[in-house]
Amino acid sequence: MKFFIDTANLDQIKEAHDMGILDGVTTNPSLMAKEGIKGEEAIMAHYKAICEIVDGPVSAEVISTDFDGIIAEGQILAKIHENIVVKVPMIKEGIKAIKWFTDNGIRTNCTLVFSAGQAILAAKAGATFVSPFIGRIDDSSWDGVDLIEQIVDIYNAQGFMTEVLAASIRNPLHIVRCAEAGADVCTCPLSSILGLLNHPLTDIGLAKFLEDAKSLK
């Protein structure tokens, strides 16, 4: 399973990249707004800065909702850097645009996916990635990882090439369960990635080894 980081924060992206486990980045308008980035020029420069840190797919989301607007925006985003993947919402115009981008060699990430039916449409249109939002599903008292399992099964049965990108990750257990369910990619906040490191027996064991090592000097 590939690890993407779900943030537009350059320090966090660098920190995950420095661990040597980072395969890509996802952003969305809310994450960009959180970093205080304003205006087209600043947005473009920020995506470029992210692409210069991480040698892997970097999802940049369109904010248009009509076909022509999505295509125009996506073409501009795709020109920023070869790592850019155009993130398109799961709406009728979005599906039409994903098909157009696919036919024109531009990679896409179909976002805001909450059902297997939506995931089938995204794959039919040729999306490079499909992003089911598992944390937001959990927030509505359904099990988000069940949806990952269902989409993985469908894609395997049908031979769809679209990669299942588990999004809206809230904790390290989500990452573990997505790996178990066969997700191709998990996009996570840095806190969830770092949470994978934690085990009290590791801390106790390391303290003991370091204490005993003093007698070796």
Catalytic residues: 87
DSSP 97-110: HHHHHHHTT--EEE
167 contacts: CB under 8 Å, gap ≥ 6: 6, 26, 111, 131, 132, 133, 134, 187
- Based on the shown chain and the rule CB under 6 A, indicate whether residue 26 belongs to the binding site for ligand E4P: yes
Residues in Cβ contact with 202 at an 8 Å cutoff, skipping those fewer than 6 apart: none
End-to-end CA distance of the chain: 41
Q: Shortest CA distance to 66 belongs to which of 95, 38, 44, 41? A: 95
- Residue 22 sits at the vertex; the CA angle it makes with 61 and 121, to the nearest 5 degrees, is 40
Total interface residues for ligand E4P by CB under 6 A: 11
Q: Is the CB of 135 or the CB of 182 nearer to ligand E4P?
A: 135
Smallest gap from residue 30 Cβ to ligand E4P (A): 6
Interaction between residue 28 and ligand E4P (CB under 6 A): yes
CB of 114 or CB of 155, closer to ligand E4P: 114
Verify binding: residue 23, ligand E4P, rule CB under 6 A.
Answer: no
Closer to ligand E4P by CB, 36 or 203: give it.
Answer: 36
Which residue in 111, 118, 128, 192 binds ligand E4P (CB under 6 A)? 111
Burial class of residue 111, CB neighbours in 10 A (0-12, 13-18, 19+)? buried
The CA distance from 139 to 200, in Å, is: 28
Q: Classify residue 182 by its DSSP letter.
A: T
Residue with Cβ nearer ligand E4P (6 or 149): 6
The answer to whether residue 187 forms part of the interface with ligand E4P (CB under 6 A) is yes
Give whichever of 196 and 215 is closer to ligand E4P, judged by the CB atom. Answer: 196
Site for ligand E4P in 131-150 (CB under 6 A): 131, 133, 135-136
Q: Is 7 a binder of ligand E4P (CB under 6 A)?
A: no
Q: How far is the CB of 132 from ligand E4P (least distance, A)?
A: 10
CB atoms within 10 A of CB 105: 7
Assess 118 for contact with ligand E4P (CB under 6 A): no
Query: Under the rule (CB under 6 A), what is the footprint of ligand E4P?
Result: 6, 26, 28, 111, 131, 133, 135-136, 167-168, 187
